[in-house]
Amino acid sequence: MEIPSVVVLPLLIVVAAGLYYVYNEVLQFMSKSLVRNKVVVITDAVSGVGSECAQLFHKGGARLVLCGTSWDKLESLFDSLTSDADPKETFAPKLVILDFSDMESMEEVVAEVVECYGCVDVLVCNSSMKLKAPVQSVSLELNRNIMDINYFGPSTLAKGILPTMISRRSGHILLVNSIQGRLAVPFRSSYAASKHAAQAFFDCLRAEVEEYGISVSTISHTFINASAPEPGAKGEAKPGSLAAFIASTLTHGVSPSALANEIVRTVNRKRKEVLLAHPIPRVALHLRSLFPPLLFSVLAAGVKDSAMAEQM
């Protein structure tokens, strides 16, 4: 019996969606076993992305060290993780106060983080400070603060933990960066500069520590859209389905849960570089490399348009 040609395309789509769903289910199952018993340090764990990461790694059986600037928020996150958790399958997280704006405390913080379990298997540098302002209105003090939080802090923490990884000849350092570490946008001068610095540092670090069996990954994402529909929300396609994949490509920005899932996948697959962006930012990156004058003209025109709009 021959299958009518009009049915072939829908049938292929259904089969592809089924294979995609099974693939994601297998990856989710494997991710739990890959992080089990691993010591995972997450900075700014109380943020949207940080707490989503903590949930995923905790369910996977990782030994978490959660870092943040607020003890109350850290305790609240601790309670949410342990309230319904099975103590036979998960570990109670350890909490560490970490403030990258206080660089003088970094030596003590690094020692405290390492002392939690005696080693670190995975370091997720998630902290970030954003700023939107014209160049001339940003003070030197604010510039330094942004550089401390976005560059000096993560790089200092990575260097502090590095000796334990080198001695064990294993480890994974992951930087949650921004696409603005690769593409500068007007009115983000200080932010883009700090992200470019962090990107360059961790790119250099990757090459230097590869011989010790240490992996270094960077994830460059577009802006985090906390209002984006989370997977499983009412009316949303099931996570991992073909419909969810198509919807995600049409959504502006990236949700905290989507970024957290990408972080876990990157740790499991040890990917060196991930670009989590939609078509327009990707095209801009290619223009920056292939036709920079065109991109500069587009950006300048955008600044002029915004200035005219403010005057109207």
Of 99, 113, 128, the closest CA to residue 160 belongs to 113
User: Three-class SS of residue 305?
Assistant: helix
* Cα distances (angstroms) measured from residue 165 to each of 201, 214, 229, 312: 18, 7, 38, 57
21 carries an active-site annotation: no
Domain(s) labelled CATH 3.40.50.720 in the chain stretch across: 5-277
Between CA 79 and CA 93 the distance in angstroms is 10
Residue 240: per-residue pLDDT: 53
Is the Cβ–Cβ distance between 40 and 63 less than 8 Å? yes
Against a cut of 0.85, is the pTM above it? no
- Given a cut of 70, whether residue 146 has pLDDT beyond it is yes
What is the DSSP code (8-state) at residue 10?
A: H
Question: Taking every pair of C-alpha atoms in the chain, what is the biggest distance, in angstroms?
Answer: 76
Residue type at position 63: R
What is the DSSP code (8-state) at residue 137?
A: G
Residue with tokens 């040609």: 5
List, in sequence order, every residue forming a beta bridge with 122; answer none if it has no partner. 40, 172
* Residue 89 pLDDT class (50, 70, 90 cuts): confident
Is the Cβ–Cβ distance between 216 and 205 less than 8 Å? yes
Measured at the CA of 98, the angle between CA 159 and CA 146, to 5 degrees, comes to 75
Mean pLDDT, rounded, for 7-24:
64
Mean pLDDT, rounded, for 192-196:
96
* Cα distances (angstroms) measured from residue 152 to each of 79, 142, 176, 215: 31, 14, 14, 20
Residue 235: per-residue pLDDT: 46
DSSP character string of 49-103 = HHHHHHHHHHHTT-EEEEEES-HHHHHHHHHHHHSS--TTT--PPEEEE--TT-G
The domain 5-277 belongs to what CATH superfamily? Answer: NAD(P)-binding Rossmann-like Domain (3.40.50.720)
Structure confidence by residue, pLDDT tens digits, 19-75: 655 555 555 555 455 889 999 999 999 999 999 999 999 999 999 999 999 999 999
Structure confidence by residue, pLDDT tens digits, 95-106: 999 999 999 999
The H or E element spanning position 186 is: none
DSSP character string of 229-274 = PPTT-TTPPPTTSHHHHHHHHHSSSB-HHHHHHHHHHHHHHT-SEE
Question: Which is higher by pLDDT, 277 or 27?
Answer: 277
Residue 217: per-residue pLDDT: 97
Phi, psi for residue 198 in degrees, rounded to 5: -65, -40
Task: Single out the catalytic residue among 20, 23, 117, 191.
Answer: 191
Share of the chain above pLDDT 70, in %: 79
